[in-house]
Chain A
């Protein structure tokens, strides 16, 4: 059986945002959800578009234009949905990330999840 398409870290985040948003996944909402995920870092809307295009070319996403809405100057939204191959790639990447998280939690302890308040690096330079 062919291996599922491999994805990068940012592609992982974007795919997760599309899955989480369901029917409401389009440029503006995906960008907002991605920024929530990677907070406190920020990312431009353009970087999200470029990643969505790449994921679509890999066959992991499907997109279509919706009906035009007045608040957008009568322009359509491009909606996105995960293909089954996209969901498989997202699951594989998430399992890999979970393994890394579990291993690092063993080293750093549970304090690693407390937004940097009590957590200290294991190695002090």
Chain B
């Protein structure tokens, strides 16, 4: 493609390169083209770009980072970096640095990444944001630095974020264009179905593996629990983790057989999407509610133990509030995911009819 303009007036190469870099790749083509078309002088071009890019970036962030995904990131980063930080503000600075890096990475990514390599790069960006925030803090206010032991616990949070992003690469923010796009050929529909199946398989496997790992992990506090209430709580927690692992294994739809005609392939896919939508809509029933008994016993057992030792009881209330908040966030975001699947079902259903 010939990129040379026919007019003499064009932005200086260096300024143009900076502007191109700052505009998110998804909208770079038309935004930079529009800025070129309005070009009158280097100064006007810089001003025009400076008045345009913040809006374009904010709009892209709105599209790529849903409120639910931000809350989940903050929760995981805070619960992993917070205990090691011991004070509030160092944790706030570290979490903000990592979160900003995640949000910008998602905004400047070319489409949704599904490969393990790409998800690893995303998480490395988050870690780089954390390190950059610490480098700035070291220069400006060393008192706000995160203590070194916090990094070892923080690694667990980044590990969970890696798994979560591997399981849900777009974290619920699917562009409307992708949902209302009508596949032009049988091959493109089959490609979409195979990608859906691959992502579903990966998601279920991660969920099942995490369930089994958590069940094993919960045995340690169960054995060492100082009272029977806590022991029951951890046992119920382990049972819950195993229950989720079993349920998600059974939820998997059978893969589409090879060589199906367009109509049959579409019917198979619509059925799989409908099942997925139903699973997501009923998530609160089979995923969220079963955790309540175990958590109740754990909080009650910890409260009994705290009162025996004369410790304050407020941490139990904070944990209950956090768990309830996470439950509400997950429930709200799953309703949004179910709506996006409904839109895809409606779009594909219109071809079928």
Contacts and interface: CB of A to CB of B under 8 A. Distances in A.
B27 A75 contact: no
Contacts of B53: 46
14 contacts: A27-B31, A44-B51, A45-B35, A49-B31, A50-B59, A53-B59, A59-B180, A65-B30, A68-B1, A71-B5, A71-B7, A72-B34, A74-B4, A77-B30
Interface residues of B, number: 35
Contacts, number: 93
B33 interface: yes
Given A46-B53, A59-B176, A73 B59 contact: no
A45, A57, A63, A72 pick with most chain B CB within 10 angstroms: A72
A46 B55 CA distance: 5
Interface of B is mostly: helix
A44 B48 CA distance: 8
A71 B6 CA distance: 6
Contact of B58 (A50, A65, A72, A78): A50
B87 interface: no
B33 A75 contact: yes
A47 to B, nearest CB: 5
A35 interface: no
Contacts of B261: none
B27 A49 contact: yes
A40 interface: no
Contacts of A59: 176, 180
A83 B261 CA distance: 31
A88 interface: no
Contacts of B5: 70-74
B176 A57 contact: yes
Contact of A75 (B29, B55, B59, B177): B29
Q: Chain A interface: which size bin?
A: 20 to 34
Contact of B10 (A26, A47, A73): A73
B3 interface: yes
Contacts of A87: none
Nearest to B16: A73
Contacts of A68: 1, 33
A47 B2 contact: no
Interface in A54-107: 54, 56-57, 59, 63, 65, 68-78
B29 A44 contact: no
Contact of B37 (A28, A50, A53): A28
B176 A76 contact: no
A61 to B, nearest CB: 10
A27, A65, A78 pick with most chain B CB within 10 angstroms: A27
B3 A78 contact: no
B288 interface: no
Contact of B56 (A46, A54, A74): A46
Contacts of A28: 34, 37-38
